[in-house]
């Protein structure tokens, strides 16, 4: 077992696989044709261990945070992920992640309010003024100013 851990450590150092890489491998890995299901279990377990070890998930509470943050990350728009790209894989704490996303969306929505495009105004010389109407004075004959 000790040899396995040493080999694993050396390989990881060489490949420099990040927790996000392990997450992707864990969530997208498929059973190879002709392979045993036990092999798939072994591979998935290694990917999950790499993901959890890389993020230093050591207890059940941290595991729950990781699972919830992963679900939140799957639901946000791509532009949010791009904005936090440099720290996206490390955002595991659900409240920190939610706070950052809320703040980002708040700033984005306030920017949209300030960047409302005003309709294009026409120069005054291009505006046609309505011609004055001829008033029909017969409508108002015999009526006081308050009766119509």
Q: Where are the domains of the chain?
A: 8-56, 59-116
Asked if pLDDT for residue 101 goes beyond 70, the answer is yes
Distance (Å, rounded) from C-alpha 122 to C-alpha 120? 7
Is residue 41 within a helix (H) or strand (E), and if so which, with residue range?
helix 37-54
- Mean pLDDT across 121-146: 61
79: buried, middle or exposed (CB in 10 Å: 19+, 13-18, 0-12)? exposed
Going by pLDDT thresholds of 50, 70 and 90, the confidence category of residue 2 is: confident
Q: What is the pTM of this model?
A: 0.58
Query: What pLDDT score does 63 carry?
Result: 95
Top-confidence residue, 116 or 17: 17
Top-confidence residue, 147 or 67: 67
CA 82 to chain centre: 8
Mean pLDDT of the chain: 81
Q: 3-state DSSP call for residue 109? A: helix
Going by pLDDT thresholds of 50, 70 and 90, the confidence category of residue 16 is: confident
Distance (Å, rounded) from C-alpha 129 to C-alpha 90? 63
Could you tell me if residue 56 is left (phi over 0), alpha (psi between -120 and 50 degrees) or otherwise beta?
Answer: left
Write the pLDDT tens digit of every residue in 29-42. 999 999 999 999 99
| Lowest-pLDDT range of 87-91, 100-104, 115-119 | 115-119
Q: Of 89, 93, 91, 90, nearest to 62 (Cα)?
A: 93
Distance (Å, rounded) from C-alpha 49 to C-alpha 32? 20
> By the 8 A CB rule, do 28 and 59 touch?
no
CA 106 to chain centre: 13
């Amino acid at each position: 077992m000790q040899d396995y851990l040493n080999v694993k450590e050396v390989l990881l150092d060489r490949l420099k696989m990040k927790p996000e890489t392990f997450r992707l491998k864990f969530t997208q890995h498929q059973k190879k044709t002709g392979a045993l299901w036990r092999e798939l279990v072994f591979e998935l377990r290694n990917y999950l261990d790499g993901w959890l070890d890389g993020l230093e998930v050591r207890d059940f509470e941290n595991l729950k945070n990781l699972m919830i943050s992963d679900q939140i990350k799957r639901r946000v728009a791509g532009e949010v992920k791009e904005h936090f790209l440099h720290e996206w894989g490390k955002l595991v704490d659900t409240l920190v992640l939610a706070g950052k996303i809320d703040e980002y969306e708040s700033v984005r929505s306030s920017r949209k309010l300030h960047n409302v495009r005003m309709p294009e105004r026409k120069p005054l010389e291009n505006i046609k003024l309505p011609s004055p109407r001829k008033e029909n004075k017969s409508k108002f004959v015999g009526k006081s100013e308050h009766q119509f």
